[in-house]
Structure 1
Amino acid sequence: MERFGVLSMGSRLKRLSDHLFQEVQGIYQEYGIPISGTYFPILRLLQLSGAMSVMDMAEKLKVSHPAVSKQVTKMLKEGLLEKELDPCDQRRSHLKLSADGHQAMAQVEPILQEMKVVLDGVINIPSANFLQALEQVERQLLGNELTEMVIDRLSRVNIIPYKETHQSAFFALNMHWLESYFPDQVIEADYQVLEDPQASIIDKSGFVWMAIREGSERALGTLAMLPDSQANSTALLKLAVAEHAQGKGIAQRLMDQAIAQARQMGVEKMTLETASCLEAAKRLYEKNGFVEMPAPKPSLYERADVYMEKILEKSL
């Protein structure tokens, strides 16, 4: 369909709309939300504006009166809405959320918040060409990832040691980060670590942790740590969190794990390299006690123009 260009735009938008409704319905079912995804515009309108007539709802939502009436009939049968007489005209009735409707909207609110974060990320595409932007949105949303991404943000995350089955996720998360920020600075050393963290880090007395969604095998973040016994220090590397899962404290959880491990090992300091353009990452490191210092030696990576250290207090 995409090859027909602008002539297929209507069909493509309908396909995308139908798919989004199906994905949203799947999320609702996953969390036991007793409403249809198609009810949302009416429920949200009544939640925000209070009781309204079908005609007023149709006008506000810019859809036909029969379309609203059909949905309202279903919601009345399901107990999500209830009628009340218009105080100004007893011959007319208004519709408002029932107690069950209010409860359902309260249940769905956290899902809506996380869905907005995911969709904002998907549609944030720097393109002046609408069809090109539409194609990128389709690639992400039609791949059945919306449901998983929203559930990722709603679920608990466990920090666990790396296993061989995590190799592809470790590679994908870190490579996506590299290609997003430094596409022209990926070097052979990156591939060596990403393709075989067991040999590159773990077999050298290092550690790799994965942030895994509880009840699944979905990896949402990674962090590695490589000790330097001669310097009595340990270096952090390969911190990456899936874009759609950022802002949920996963990076901090990974940092907490690494700092606790370093203290247990009794090393004197932790080190890391980062880039001055990665302001959010630098704030995270500073929050955890890392201080920018002169680099003791040139970095292997052109992108790493900031060196930081954290001195660990000895346990009493």
Structure 2
Amino acid sequence: MYLPSLAQLALGSRLKSLSDHFYAAVDEVYRTCGAGVESRWFPVLRFLWENGETTVSDVAQAIGQTHSAVSQLADKLVDAGLVCRKKDAQDGRRSLLALTEKGRTDLSALGPIWVAVRRGIVKSLGEEGLEALLNALAATEAAVQERSVVDAMLAEHAIVTKAALEVVPYEPALKDHFYRLNAQWLQRHFRIEDVDREMLGDPERYVLAPGGAIFFARLAGEVIGTCALLQEAPRVYELSKMGVDETFRGMGAGRVLLAAAIAEFHRRGGKELFLESNSRLKTALRMYEQAGFVLQPSVRAGSHYERADVYMIYQPEQRQRAQAAAVRS
């Protein structure tokens, strides 16, 4: 499933999906058993059943919903004839919610259904599964009461936006990021070819062992980009597998990685550095050109990639001469 792969980012969506599932299941049971209530009404009705007439604010605080949400729900219950609004005898400025006679009558017939719901959930989830879920919910409720989720998110946002990009070399713990970041753009624009699958699945064998290098761009501990320097032959290298998380585009990760790869090429005393790409990747091609790569008149002979229709060689001096000539003209 897709949502689980998003982990924390989809927490609210996953909880809503589960919530909608249980609401729908209980509503179906209510309808089948002839009960004229809805599952979303349960918290308010049950609270009024157990505590008697009370204010919207008291109900909202007790069930953990906003005053507005409870007030809107109360309107529906009034329309259904289950709840009424009445003036507070001690404070005429506020109103109280109370069950009507119909509300009490209808709720008094729900005992068998509530037993069936409770037992059915146990059978469906299993006793251990249900206990784990209820414990997790209790812990989560306590945690969000102790510290605002919004405050925590904004504090982390401040940390991330103030952090500096860093480039780090390959280590086994980062292997999955090499696959993830490259698979993201390959699947979006092209497809993962067999040569990609081999290299991304085992970078230590296909990149590092033959004398290459892999770099990662990291921001506040988050790996947001990667690229590889492949050794084609002694002192001949290919810039390859450049991928940046699309949600971090515009932060300069691609340029930082490109600079790191070029610096490593020079450090090793390389004599030729080339890359293969595709003409559809306009932004990447501009970046390569600005870094000193020069477009060649034809594709590279013996190219490994079906998608490659661009061949560029790192020739910063030629690039500079061309720029100077353009300025003079």
Deviation at 1:259, TM superposition (A): 0.9
**Structure 1 residues 23, 248: closer, same or farther in 2, change over 3 A?**
farther
**Structure 1 residues 266, 168: closer, same or farther in 2, change over 3 A?**
same
1:165 partner amino acid: A
Q: Is the 8 A contact 1:159 1:212 kept in 2?
A: yes
Deviation at 1:306, TM superposition (A): 0.6
Q: Give the Cα separation in 1 of the matches to 2:270 and 2:309.
A: 24
Deviation at 1:2, TM superposition (A): 4.8
Question: Are 2:203 and 1:200 equivalent residues in the alignment?
Answer: no
Q: Give the Cα separation in 1 of the matches to 2:303 and 2:171.
A: 29
- The equivalences for 1:41-190 within 5 A come to 152-182=160-190, 185-190=191-196
**Residue in 1 aligned with 2:8?**
none
Higher relative contact order (CA 8 A, sep 6+): 1
Q: Is the 8 A contact 1:269 1:312 kept in 2?
A: no
Q: Which runs of 5+ in 2 are unaligned?
A: 1-15, 25-39, 41-64, 67-143, 318-329
CA RMSD of aligned residues (A): 2.9
Query: Secondary structure in 1 aligned to 2:209?
Result: helix
Q: Is the 8 A contact 1:152 1:245 kept in 2?
A: no
2:155 partner amino acid: Q
Deviations 1:274-315 (A, max 9, x none): 1101100000001101111123314222211111111366xx
1:171 partner amino acid: Y
The count of residues paired between Structure 1 and Structure 2 equals 181
How much identity, in percent, do the aligned residues show? 29
Q: Is the 8 A contact 2:292 2:316 kept in 1?
A: no
**Structure 1 residues 152, 175: closer, same or farther in 2, change over 3 A?**
farther
1:212 partner amino acid: R
Q: Is the 8 A contact 2:299 2:311 kept in 1?
A: yes
Q: Give the Cα separation in 2 of the matches to 1:298 and 1:24.
A: 54
Q: 2:303 aligns with which of 295, 299, 313?
A: 299
**Structure 1 residues 165, 2: closer, same or farther in 2, change over 3 A?**
closer
Q: Is the 8 A contact 1:234 1:267 kept in 2?
A: yes
1:286 partner amino acid: E
1:233 partner amino acid: V
Question: Are 2:261 and 1:253 equivalent residues in the alignment?
Answer: no
TM-score by length of 1: 0.51
Q: Is the 8 A contact 1:270 1:312 kept in 2?
A: no
Query: Secondary structure in 2 aligned to 1:277?
Result: coil
Q: Which runs of 5+ in 1 are unaligned?
A: 31-146
Q: Is the 8 A contact 1:159 1:209 kept in 2?
A: yes
In terms of fraction of residues, the more helix-rich structure is: 2
1:305 partner amino acid: D
Question: Are 2:139 and 1:29 equivalent residues in the alignment?
Answer: no
**Residue in 1 aligned with 2:276?**
273
Q: Is the 8 A contact 1:223 1:237 kept in 2?
A: yes
TM-score by length of 2: 0.49
Query: Secondary structure in 1 aligned to 2:239?
Result: strand
2:195 partner amino acid: A
Q: Give the Cα separation in 1 of the matches to 2:226 and 2:183.
A: 12
Query: Secondary structure in 2 aligned to 1:28?
Result: helix
**Residue in 1 aligned with 2:292?**
289
Q: Is the 8 A contact 1:209 1:223 kept in 2?
A: yes
Query: Secondary structure in 1 aligned to 2:295?
Result: strand
Deviations 1:213-239 (A, max 9, x none): 24x2x2111010012235x42100000
Q: Give the Cα separation in 2 of the matches to 1:24 and 1:246.
A: 24
**Structure 1 residues 278, 24: closer, same or farther in 2, change over 3 A?**
farther
Q: Give the Cα separation in 2 of the matches to 1:291 and 1:199.
A: 30
Q: Give the Cα separation in 1 of the matches to 2:248 and 2:208.
A: 26
1:224 partner amino acid: A
